[in-house]
Structure 1
Amino acid sequence: MESKVFIGTHYEYSIASALRPLGFDLRRVGGQSDKGIDLLGTWSVPSTPKHLPLRVILQCKAYSTAKGAKIGPQFVRELEGAYLGAPSGWRGSGVVGLLITQRPATKGVREALANSRQPLGYVSCSGDGALEQMLWNRRAEEEGLEGMGVTARLSEEDRQGDTRRLVLTWKGRPYEAPCIYPTIGSEAAEPLQDIGADTESTT
């Protein structure tokens, strides 16, 4: 039987891989000092000034499909706490927090996002890395996602079927993010405070 740690870690790597085509460059955090943050990194989008990437922090809920599991507003409040306690380099303007689960956003989650004072978003991603939903609040638009959107397109690999994939749009048109080479790997084991210190020293 697979352990909870293995399942959670596998889900985090699946998310990092699934989001890479959308312009995300993510690093796994993990450990006792993660302060509720599972992945952090950058998100390259054309809507930001001078196309500088947004900084992102992610909370991943690998057990959101478990029997009796409910994805409610409490998870948005938990994400708000992680956002406010983010490491140096992932604070201030140009930072967005994302909640990742295996279920679509409920009405309660949508309302909590809309009412939040923090720039937050929500992503539904299956255990095998299939993106199914992506949304964000007005505050996230103000931090750099103004003009960005999400739509579903027929997968290039399944022209004869009905498999669709999520793609970003920029001012109403499909947007292909630049190729991001993965950094998630040996550095992923770095504790959170080390990541923050490294970032602070280069700014």
Structure 2
Amino acid sequence: MLSTVHRGAAFENRALRVLQTNLSMSLNHVGGKSDGGIDLRGWWWLPFTPSAFADPTHRQRVRVFAQCKAERKKTGPKYIREMEGVLHRYFNDPNPMVALFISESHFTKEALLRVQSSSIPFFLLHLPSEHEDDIGSMVWNEALSGTNGLLQGKVEARWERSLDSDRAGRPSLWVQNQRAPSWTPEKLRSPER
């Protein structure tokens, strides 16, 4: 049985892998005792234009500040309010930004309502503990995904069914009715291309 610290670190590492492999995010671990409420920080590489599909280096980056919780009980609105408070100190950053909250447990109805009413672009991600690379759900608020939001209604999360009967499927990113393959600058430098 893992200690709470080791369990949290393992969950953060798992989140890093899932986000880079599936959702075009290149994040770094910054968590620790004095992390200021941020566990992961980095960039989300989004293809807003057709040219970004042909040449991924034309993708636009969005600043990501993430917090991870590997708790057994459902995630409530307290954590969402804390994340809102943490992000207020970054409002003067010239880069567009999103709050990403990653939980091993489900989100309560109250947490979902809090996110939907927030003026901060929010992305909730549920990574259940059953399978290492499973994504349980993704929730975006209007400040992130709406036509007047950060993504201007151009990027969608769609659920894709799995052909594997043991798996439920997973969400993926779609732009202008095209599935957006996951890409980060690290993939350019990777010899496994």
What TM-score results when the alignment is normalised by the length of structure 2? 0.79
Describe how 1:25-174 pairs up with structure 2 within 5 A: 25-47=26-48, 51-63=59-71, 65=72, 69-86=73-90, 91-127=93-129, 128-141=132-145, 142-144=149-151, 146-155=153-162, 159-163=163-167, 164-174=169-179
Contact 1:47-1:145 at 8 Å conserved across structures: no
Helix, strand or coil: the match of 2:150? Answer: helix
Contact 2:105 2:127 (C-alpha < 8 Å) held by counterparts: yes
Match of 1:18 in 2: 18
| Equivalent residue letter for 2:68 | C
Higher RCO (CA 8 Å, separation ≥ 6 residues): 1
**Is the Cα contact below 8 Å between 1:93 and 1:143 reproduced in 2?**
no
Q: Distance in 2 between matches of 1:121 and 1:58?
A: 9
What's the CA shift for 1:160? Answer: 4.7
Q: Aligned pair in 2 of structure 1 residues 44, 112: CA closer, same or farther (>3 Å)? A: same
Write out per-residue CA displacement over residues 60-88 of structure 1, whole angstroms, 9 at most, x where no aligned residue: 0111x2xxx232211110110121234x9
For residues 93 and 16 of structure 2, what CA distance do their matches in structure 1 show? Answer: 21
The whole-number CA distance in structure 1 between the counterparts of 2:170 and 2:152 is 20
| One-letter code aligned to 1:9 | A
C-alpha distance 160-8 of structure 1, shift in aligned 2 (>3 A): closer
Q: Check whether the contact 2:74–2:108 (CA below 8 A) recurs between aligned residues.
A: no
**CA distance change for structure 1 residues 140 and 160 in 2, over 3 Å: closer, same or farther?**
closer
* Cα displacement (A) at 1:91: 3.0
Aligned Cα root-mean-square deviation (Å): 2.5
Corresponding residue for residue 185 of structure 1 = none
Which consecutive unaligned segments of at least 5 residues does structure 2 have?
A: 53-57, 188-193
Structure 1 runs not aligned, ≥5 long: 183-203
Instruction: Determine what percentage of the aligned residue pairs are the same residue.
Output: 28
State the one-letter code of the partner of 1:10.
A
Q: Which amino acid aligns with 1:126?
A: P
Q: Which amino acid aligns with 1:137?
A: N
1:178 corresponds to which residue? Answer: 183
Show structure 1 runs of 4+ deviating over 4 A. Answer: none
